[in-house]
Amino acid sequence: MSDGRVLGMGGLFFRSSDPVALSAWYRDYLGVGPGCGDGAGQGGGEWFWFAQGGPMVFQPFEAGSDYFARDKSFMINLRVEGLDALVSRLGESEIVAERRAEWDSPETGRFARIHDPDGNAIELWEPPAA
């Protein structure tokens, strides 16, 4: 019998003026969303994506933080493998990735930032090698 604890994120829900097109963008460019698998043989379903298990940061920021746009109340952080290859592939589709040397460190990993068609910031995070 369960002790009544949280096991992980069950979803991320946000508004869009064109949710069908935005869902397709996430699926096509990032492999995220309904029907997408974890890359290790676990396929997704009609309503869900099987994310690969691993570390996840859950952290509120100060209201005045400039880490992401002040007019947005959230930023999506996606854990990735092969950040350079992903950034290159996105660039081929004219999706601009911002990189800053000060974002990267051996302790936390490497980062790039892109934006979806609705202007939501997406941080691509490649954790340090174990």
pLDDT in tens, 38-91: 666 677 777 788 888 888 888 999 999 988 888 888 999 999 999 999 999 999
SS3 121: strand
Report the distance separating Cα 9 and Cα 113, nearest Å: 22
Domains in the chain: boundaries: 19-56+72-126
What fold, for 19-56+72-126? 2,3-Dihydroxybiphenyl 1,2-Dioxygenase; domain 1 (3.10.180)
Using DSSP, how many helices (H) and how many strands (E) does the chain show? 2, 3
What pLDDT score was predicted for residue 39?
A: 65
Residue type, 64: G
Whether residue 113 has pLDDT greater than 90: yes
Exposure of 41 in the CB half-sphere (CA atoms within 13 A)? 0
Strand order in the sheet with 110-115: 76-79, 121-126, 110-115
Whether residue 120 has pLDDT greater than 90: yes
The model's pTM is 0.87
